[in-house]
């Protein structure tokens, strides 16, 4: 009978690297004062032996769990942000627990997060959901700033105002003058910011908005938005707050017999994979959620370790992709 391979110990790593076990511990804590050459020999020894920290033992020794939680309202939407955040956490030696609050209120999600922190099960919470702040908590809490104003929002990750304004400018450059905004739920910060950017551009360019009906993030909101327009409406461009809302706009336009983009140009926001393969492909705002997720997790880990907050990504997190659902307005 074969025996399973014994896990290498921290002292074996230290012996191979030619350093003390305390130095290996500093490496595993990502101690910034560790010299680069020392870091390199320890890193090589860890890789050669396949060493993995014993998180349970570390928790008993240091009273730290090595576990962080990611809280989100649903797995529909932020999966790319979460995947990148999980990858970043694991690279830093943390385990990750993802909490999905299906149909839960902000208060309920907040209570779950606080319970986790107060229990000592997790060292920090990265919120991708509307978490209500509490001053009576232990551990670190960082949110991505994408959601409603009840969150401890620090920054709008996607640069919603300026990007939405630029999108309206791009449609105006195609010749559009009559617009409709199919807005997202106005208790969400991201939806408010996109509406703000839309209205700013409408005002700057002296365009006409024929309404900003809002609803949740589902296609039904787009369907309801089109229902506000008469058959002879002068609207030639519908700017949706998300790709899912835009899907409803496209469906309602098809049911009316309105050609896209011949009669109506439609834009979304998020660059959902399936919408790239729609007929025609959806014009949208592409969001680099991977960079946003990695940066958010770096902020959380820095907060846990008492380090300075990392610099935000230098590259722009959004770009406009005009595809098959946008074109010039129909000629009179």
Q: What is the pLDDT of residue 239?
A: 99
DSSP code string of 102-145 = TT--HHHHHHHHHHHHHHTS-SEEEESS-PPP-SS--SEEEE-S
Rounded to whole angstroms, how far apart are CA atoms 84 and 182? 29
Those residues whose C-beta lies under 8 Å from the C-beta of residue 86, and which sit 6 or more positions away, are: 70, 96, 98, 297
Confidence of residue 109 (pLDDT cuts 50, 70, 90): low
Confidence of residue 276 (pLDDT cuts 50, 70, 90): very high
Find the mean pLDDT for residues 261-289.
94
Nearest to 132 by CA among 115, 155, 149: 149
| Residue 188: C-alpha distances to residues 90, 185, 306 (Å) | 30, 6, 30
pLDDT at 47 over 70: yes
Confidence of residue 5 (pLDDT cuts 50, 70, 90): low
pLDDT at 1 over 50: no
Return the residue matching tokens 């909101």. Answer: 221
Min mean pLDDT across 20-29, 198-207, 249-258 is at 20-29
- At the second CATH level, the architecture of 156-287 is 3-Layer(aba) Sandwich (3.40)
Find the mean pLDDT for residues 193-208.
97
Computed over every residue of the chain, the mean pLDDT equals 82
Same-fold call for 10-53 versus 156-287: no
Find the mean pLDDT for residues 86-112.
73
10-53 CATH: 1.10.260.40
Q: What 3-state DSSP class applies to 261?
A: coil
Q: What is the pLDDT of residue 148?
A: 43
Domain ranges of the chain: 10-53, 63-145, 156-287
Find the mean pLDDT for residues 282-307.
88
pLDDT at 4 over 60: no
Min mean pLDDT across 104-118, 163-177, 186-200, 223-237 is at 104-118
Those residues whose C-beta lies under 8 Å from the C-beta of residue 269, and which sit 6 or more positions away, are: 164, 194, 240, 241, 242, 243, 246, 284, 285, 287
Find the mean pLDDT for residues 170-188.
95
**Strands 284-287 and 318-321, bridge-based pairing:** antiparallel
pLDDT at 75 over 70: no
Encode pLDDT of 51-64 as tens digits: 766 544 554 454 55
Find the mean pLDDT for residues 174-182.
99
Strand partners, 267: 239, 283
Using a pLDDT cut of 70, give the percent of the chain over it: 77
pTM of structure: 0.64
First and final CA of the chain: distance in angstroms? 84
Q: What is the pLDDT of residue 81?
A: 78
Angle at alpha carbon of residue 196, lines to 194 and 199, rounded to 5°: 110
Return the residue matching tokens 């969150």. Answer: 151
Confidence of residue 288 (pLDDT cuts 50, 70, 90): confident
Superfamily of domain 63-145, CATH level 4: Response regulator (3.40.50.2300)
Torsion of CA 35, 36, 42, 46, to 10 degrees: 140
Encode pLDDT of 111-167 as tens digits: 777 777 776 777 888 876 555 554 345 567 776 654 443 333 333 444 689 999 999
Neighbours of 32 (CB within 10 A): 10
Contact, 160 vs 260, CB < 8 A?
no
Using a pLDDT cut of 90, give the percent of the chain over it: 40
Rounded to whole angstroms, how far apart are CA atoms 165 and 170? 9
Q: What is the pLDDT of residue 91?
A: 87
């Amino acid at each position: 009978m074969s025996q399973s391979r014994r896990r290498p110990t921290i002292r074996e790593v230290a012996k191979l690297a030619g350093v003390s076990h305390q130095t290996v511990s500093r490496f595993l804590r990502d101690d910034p004062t560790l010299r680069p050459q020392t870091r390199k020999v320890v890193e090589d020894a860890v890789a050669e032996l396949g060493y993995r920290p014993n998180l349970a033992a570390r928790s008993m020794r240091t009273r730290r769990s090595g576990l962080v939680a990611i809280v989100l309202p649903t797995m529909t939407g932020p999966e790319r942000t979460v995947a990148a955040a999980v990858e970043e956490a694991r690279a830093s030696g943390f385990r990750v627990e993802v909490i999905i609050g299906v149909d839960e209120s902000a208060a309920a999600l907040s209570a779950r997060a606080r319970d986790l922190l107060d229990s000592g099960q997790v060292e920090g919470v990265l919120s991708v959901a509307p978490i209500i702040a509490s001053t009576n908590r232990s551990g670190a809490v960082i949110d991505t700033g994408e959601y409603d104003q009840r969150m401890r929002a620090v920054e709008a990750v996607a640069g919603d105002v300026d990007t939405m304004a630029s999108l309206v400018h791009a449609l105006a450059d195609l010749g559009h003058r009559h617009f409709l905004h199919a807005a997202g739920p106005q208790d969400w910060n991201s939806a408010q910011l996109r509406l703000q950017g839309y209205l700013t551009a409408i005002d700057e360019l002296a365009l006409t908005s024929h309404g900003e009906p809002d609803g949740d993030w589902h296609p039904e909101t787009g369907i309801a938005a089109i229902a506000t327009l008469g058959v002879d409406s002068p609207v030639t461009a519908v700017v949706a707050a998300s790709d899912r809302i835009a899907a409803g706009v496209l469906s309602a336009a098809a049911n009316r017999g309105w050609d896209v983009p011949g009669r109506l140009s439609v834009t979304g926001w998020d660059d959902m994979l399936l919408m790239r393969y729609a007929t025609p492909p959806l014009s949208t705002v592409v969001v680099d959620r991977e960079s946003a997720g990695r940066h958010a997790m770096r902020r959380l880990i820095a907060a846990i370790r008492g380090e300075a907050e990392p610099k935000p990504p230098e590259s722009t997190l959004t770009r406009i992709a005009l595809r098959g659902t946008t074109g010039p307005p129909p000629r009179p």
